[in-house]
Amino acid sequence: MPSLKDIRRRIGSVKSTQKITRAMKMVAAAKLRRAQDTMESFRSYADLTSSILAEVAAAAPADSHPLLKRRETEKALLLVITADRGLCGGFNANLNRAALLQIKEADPKPEISIIGRKAKSFFDRQDVEIQEFYADVYADPSFETAARIAREIAAKYESGEIDKIDIIYNKMISMMSQQPTVHPLLPVALPEKAEADEEEGGDKDDLEPVGFIFEPRQEELLDRLLPMYVEVEVYRAIIESIASEFAARMTAMEAATSNAQDMIDHLTLVYNRARQSAITSELMDIVGGAEALSE
């Protein structure tokens, strides 16, 4: 059995760890509130951007813009978004496993670009070609940073270097649940109505959204809206991932704090039993000595 000194030392160590996990939980909770506010407000903006694009692109043929062109997929790219840091439960591991499964099941096998050091360290050990690693994104997770990444990705698609681009990231379902989600990025999907009408051989003029007059021309609007849509979707994925990371870290640190308390309670019980046993043993030695002297 460990000595009383060893048990006291271990209790002190666990209490120190508990202070750290409690502080990390509080920091994650504070950052989560800000990240949620950013995520929820930007969701509205992103949904509105998609809605406007749908209206403008409803009558556009599939080859009216390079970002709408669909080609036979000979080379694909997967943008993997994880965190830079750990201590957030299975947040990074679940995403990396989902990304690896997506890569193995895809035909052709995609190359990957990476945001987040946890994905970089994971895929460095896998048989996967890493095309680009975007370092220090979380040092400045602004829209400008996301737009720069989106422009680089879109340029590869427009040049024909890549035929299909998807994003995989953790989508925040709730405080307790973050789901790895694959989102098709390029080619930009046309509205279903437009695709259905084109298959039926409908006249392009019949597809114009009722009540809308385009100014400037539809082609000029698409030239602005489609690149902006790609930038918005990349930024949305990044801020969703950030909010999910803080939620996962807060949950993990709460569980760690609770487990530390359980361990402290158990060690305290062990310490009290050992102390009681030591006192009892000393008392028996005293009583035995007294009896020996009385004889």
Residue from 253, 183, 236, 234 nearest 31 by CA: 253
How far apart CA 3 and CA 274 sit, in angstroms, is: 8
Q: Which residues contact 201 (CB under 8 A, 6 or more apart)?
A: none
How far apart CA 23 and CA 215 sit, in angstroms, is: 54
Packing angle between helix 4-57 and helix 218-294, nearest 10 degrees?
Answer: 170
Cα 259 from chain centroid (whole Å)? 25
How far apart CA 23 and CA 154 sit, in angstroms, is: 41
Catalytic site includes residue 276: no
Q: Per the residue annotation, which of 14, 59, 88, 114 is the catalytic one? A: 88
Q: Are 267 and 8 in contact (CB under 8 A)?
A: no
What does the DSSP assignment read for 149-170? Answer: HHHHHHHHHHTTS-SEEEEEEE
3-class DSSP state of 204: helix
How far apart CA 45 and CA 16 sit, in angstroms, is: 44
- Report the amino acid identity of residue 252: A
- Report the amino acid identity of residue 118: K
3-class DSSP state of 82: coil
Residue from 154, 236, 198, 192 nearest 54 by CA: 192
Phi, psi of 26 (to 5 degrees): -65, -40
Q: Which residue numbers are catalytic? A: 88
